[in-house]
Structure 1
Amino acid sequence: MLTEQFSMIAFTAALEPLRLANRAAGRKLYEWHLYSADGLTAEASNGVRVNVEQSFRDAPNMDAVVVCAGVDVQLIDHRDLISVVRRLTKSGAAPGAVCTGTYVLAKAGLLDGYRCTIHWENRPGIRADFPDLDIGEELFEIDRDRFTCAGGVAAADMMLSLIKRDHGETVSSAVTDQLIHHRIREASERQRMDLRTRLGVADPKLLRVISLMERSIERVLTIEEFARSVALSPRQLERLFLKHLGSSPNRHYIKIRLDHACQLLRQTRMPILDVGMASGFSSASYFSQSYSDHFGHSPSSERKAAV
């Protein structure tokens, strides 16, 4: 099921392992059919159009239904797709999602009581819209007959894991080799690069503080508390940030919180004041000024651009 602006890399990463599994086995283990809202084409976020066979509404009963979404998933009207996915699931199809397709399954109520995951960039938004959802940070989640993944090449790891479960290690290993993927990553492996690689720094105390900053967004900690967590004085912590990142601890911390706020503004309908509070800003004026200083435009402009 391809929504408008679906992720091309997630789509192909999910589909190609199935094709290669057929090739490795020398027989048809899987077959697939493509559907879109209009039954003609679906346009990916990279502008490439993919021909489909039928519309969502025309989809017959099947063994599994996979929703492939992408950018701005929360802005699209998914009513027809949700109705069809509910119908197919009720008829025995295993519901799955790649990339932000998890949002559609959550909106359909098909992930209640199940573990799931989504791309790290979309986690703040889906948590805000579905606070009771059991959503983790894994590359992919296979919980009974529900399967979701973080998008990108994580879709390949999820499909390889499903192939291994259904047809054994010989087939899955042959597919992995064909993909030049070297190994099937475990579901529990992290989505994002570790901080050391992402920031290009190796100082363990600096990395511990930044990790704590990323976990302390709504409940803001003081620079003194961060320094104390790694047995440094605030002045020593300041020098550490300036040496490795060219920025003060406070400025780096505010950037983390503002990036979080940006995702909430783009992905949810939360009131702007609530977005600010959820990002650790105690007043609307302070949030608006900080946001404008960092991004060059106001939170309300960000929200309007996302609609």
Structure 2
Amino acid sequence: MMLNLVGLRFRQRMAAQVAEQFILERIRGTTDVQPIPVDVRVGLLRAELIEVLRLMEVNIEEPLSLEELTRLVNLWQRHLQRMFKFYLNVSPTHCYLTLRLKRARDLLRTTNASIARVTTVCGFHSQCHFSKAYRAQFGYAPSHERRLPG
């Protein structure tokens, strides 16, 4: 967002040079959400839960199974499910799906990648399943996302 303000005040070229100095991939617009580390975003929760959320976020394209997640953080599957329900009021599976769909929405809004490519990058093996899940989450089809203002 700060780079957007630099661009408005001093020119986009100056903003691009600042971004290059800080090794930033793109200049976020005024409506883009700044990424916040998972531990800050969800508060002071159990370390295992934060680690599972971090693993989910870094494994969007090739989602890990619930069994893999529990093995990586050394928890019983049922215990992890109870922690998700207690702290986040959702199942791990639903949380993972939501993360993947939010990533898809971000890609649709900020890139020119095809819907088929976004489907793959967000770990869906079927464009039909992706579209149904997207519509259920956001209330409209992925193709409609690009027609929205902003």
TM-score band by shorter chain is: 0.7 to 0.9
The normalised TM-score by structure 2 is 0.82
Q: Pairwise CA RMSD of aligned residues?
A: 3.1
Q: Tell me if structure 1 keeps the 8 A contact 2:45–2:87.
A: no
1:270 maps to a residue whose letter is A
Q: CA deviation at 1:233?
A: 1.8
Alignment of 1:270 onto 2:146: no
| From 117, 128, 137, the counterpart of 2:24 | 117
| From 137, 140, 147, the counterpart of 1:297 | 140
Q: Distance in 2 between matches of 1:254 and 1:234?
A: 17
Q: Distance in 1 between matches of 2:147 and 2:47?
A: 40
SS at match of 1:96: helix
1:297 maps to a residue whose letter is Y
Structure with bigger gyration radius: 1
Q: CA deviation at 1:231?
A: 1.1
Match of 2:14 in 1: 66
Mark the CA change 1:200 to 1:272 in structure 2 (over 3 Å): closer, same or farther: same
Show structure 1 runs of 5+ residues with no match: 1-6, 16-32, 37-64, 68-94, 103-110, 123-150, 153-190
| From 75, 82, 88, the counterpart of 1:232 | 75
The normalised TM-score by structure 1 is 0.42
Match of 2:66 in 1: 223
SS at match of 1:117: coil
2:52 maps to a residue whose letter is V
**Offset from partner CA, 1:22-43 (integer Å, 9 cap, x none):** xxxxxxxxxxx9558xxxxxxx
Which structure features the higher share of helix residues?
Answer: 2
Q: Distance in 1 between matches of 2:141 and 2:149?
A: 13
**Offset from partner CA, 1:108-136 (integer Å, 9 cap, x none):** xxx6xx972146x96xxxxxxxxxxxxxx
Q: CA deviation at 1:293?
A: 0.6
Match of 2:84 in 1: 241
Q: Distance in 2 between matches of 1:243 and 1:283?
A: 32
**Offset from partner CA, 1:35-71 (integer Å, 9 cap, x none):** 58xxxxxxxxxxxxxxxxxxxxxxxxxxxx503xxxx
Identity over aligned residues, as a percent? 32
Match of 1:209 in 2: 52
Q: Distance in 2 between matches of 1:210 and 1:251?
A: 12
Q: CA deviation at 1:202?
A: 1.8
Matches within 5 A, 1:76-87: none
2:113 maps to a residue whose letter is M
SS at match of 1:251: helix
2:118 maps to a residue whose letter is V
SS at match of 1:244: helix
Mark the CA change 1:96 to 1:234 in structure 2 (over 3 Å): closer, same or farther: same
Q: CA deviation at 1:261?
A: 0.4
Match of 1:47 in 2: none
Mark the CA change 1:201 to 1:34 in structure 2 (over 3 Å): closer, same or farther: closer
Show structure 2 runs of 5+ residues with no match: none
| From 76, 80, 97, the counterpart of 1:254 | 97
SS at match of 2:69: helix
2:47 maps to a residue whose letter is P
Alignment of 1:288 onto 2:131: yes
